[in-house]
């Protein structure tokens, strides 16, 4: 059920990604070592940018094999490469096969004192289009699609299901990449680390790097099956443990705090990004309380965690 690419293609892809991730790791190491010293903000930003670039490339390869040539590194710094969503045809690729859409799972735990609605906010506006009882599951699964599907042809969807064993846990399956204007504002559909607002900038930098390197390394491990990267010095941020799982690749990694896509300013695939937290305005409110999701508002689920402030 996985790769559609034939063996050769896949091997080639793995190799490319591996190389890119290795490069990214090196930059991350450099950045990490600079954090302790009095290096310039500029230099750190440069390194962070390089790291982003490697993730961007890797993810692009994974999601759209063969398109790497079209990836613009400039997209990382400022504008969204997909902001020109009208003319070029990312849609064709995405639409061509539902199965080929990138897909990943996030498990979100509700924290006491934090509403479900806030806990689950991912920065995008979603519209519910169905709910279904799933065989063997206690709770029904909710189906959501991007609010801008009609107006902007955005194909992103997600499914939300409450865990059987632990009702405080929600499994969210995302499919497709946002091609709508939200993508530019809200950043990555792939969740990104959110930091607590009272951390120092350096601490934030370090954690972001840790997170992204950790993610990258696990992917790297998947390819090489030998490494384990422990960059582990983060204080506990476990208000919301989140597991992100890139299903197609069987990768999982655990983040130590809530994720939010509010951070990424630029590109769909950016893991870290700038800090535009500007809240995405959501249009809905709701209060359906019959639903097993209780007052879960997919449009606002994560909001309370703010994002990555600078």
What phi, psi does 115 have (nearest 5°)? Answer: -60, 150
Min dist. Cβ of residue 131 to DNA (A): 4
**Residues β-bridged to residue 145:** 127, 157
Task: Tell me, residue by residue from 65 to 104, as one string, x for binding to DNA by CB under 7 A and - for no binding.
Answer: ---------------------------------x------
Residue 134 as a binder of DNA (CB under 7 A): the answer is: yes
What is the C-alpha separation between 10 and 6, in angstroms, rounded?
6
* 284 interacts with DNA by CB under 7 A: yes
The binder of DNA chosen from 299, 301, 303, 307 (CB under 7 A): 299
d(CA 294, CA 70): 43
Supply the DSSP symbol for 172. E
d(CA 49, CA 228): 24
Minimum distance from CB of 107 to DNA (Å)? 16
Using the rule CB under 7 A, is 249 a contact of DNA? Answer: no
Residue with tokens 């941020």: 237
Q: In the range 146-165, which residues lie near DNA by CB under 7 A?
A: 147, 157, 159
What is the spatial distance between Cα 179 and Cα 169, in angstroms, rounded to a whole number?
28
Closer to DNA at the Cβ: 137 or 169?
A: 137
Helix (H/G/I), strand (E/B), else coil: 9: helix
Q: Is 98 left (phi over 0), alpha (psi -120 to 50) or beta?
A: alpha
Residue 283 binds DNA (CB under 7 A): yes
Q: Which of 53, 121, 276, 297 binds DNA (CB under 7 A)?
A: 297
**188 near DNA, rule: CB under 7 A:** no
- Residue (134 or 227) nearer to DNA, CB: 134
Residues that bind DNA (CB under 7 A): 98, 125-136, 141-143, 145, 147, 157, 159, 283-288, 290-291, 297-299
């Amino acid at each position: 059920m996985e790769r559609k690419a034939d063996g050769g293609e896949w091997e080639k892809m793995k190799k490319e990604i591996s190389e890119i991730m290795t490069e990214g790791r090196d930059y991350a190491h450099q950045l990490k070592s600079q954090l302790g010293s009095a290096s310039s903000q500029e230099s750190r930003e440069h390194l962070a940018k390089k790291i982003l670039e490697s993730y961007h490339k890797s993810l692009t390869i994974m999601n759209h094999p063969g398109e790497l040539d079209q990836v613009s590194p400039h997209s990382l710094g400022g504008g969204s490469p997909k902001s020109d969503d009208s003319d070029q045809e990312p849609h064709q690729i995405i639409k061509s096969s539902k199965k080929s859409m990138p897909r990943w799972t996030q498990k979100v735990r509700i924290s006491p004192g934090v509403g479900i609605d806030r806990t689950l906010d991912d920065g995008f506006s979603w519209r519910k289009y169905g709910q279904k009882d799933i065989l063997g599951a206690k709770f029904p699964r909710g189906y959501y699609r991007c609010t801008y599907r009609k107006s902007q042809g955005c194909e992103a969807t997600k499914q939300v299901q409450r865990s059987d064993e632990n009702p405080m846990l929600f499994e969210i399956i995302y499919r497709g990449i946002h091609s709508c204007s939200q993508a530019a504002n809200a950043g990555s559909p792939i969740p990104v680390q959110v930091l607590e607002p009272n951390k120092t900038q350096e601490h934030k930098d370090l954690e972001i790097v840790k997170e992204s390197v950790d993610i990258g390394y696990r992917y790297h491990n998947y390819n090489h099956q030998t490494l384990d990267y422990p960059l582990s010095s983060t204080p506990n941020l476990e208000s919301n443990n989140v597991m992100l799982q890139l299903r197609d690749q069987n990768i999982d990694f655990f983040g130590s705090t809530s994720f939010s896509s509010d951070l990424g300013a630029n590109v769909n695939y950016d893991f870290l990004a700038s800090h535009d937290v500007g809240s995405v305005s959501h249009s809905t409110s709701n209060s359906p309380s019959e639903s097993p999701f209780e007052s879960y508002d997919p449009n606002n689920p994560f909001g309370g965690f703010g994002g990555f402030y600078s």
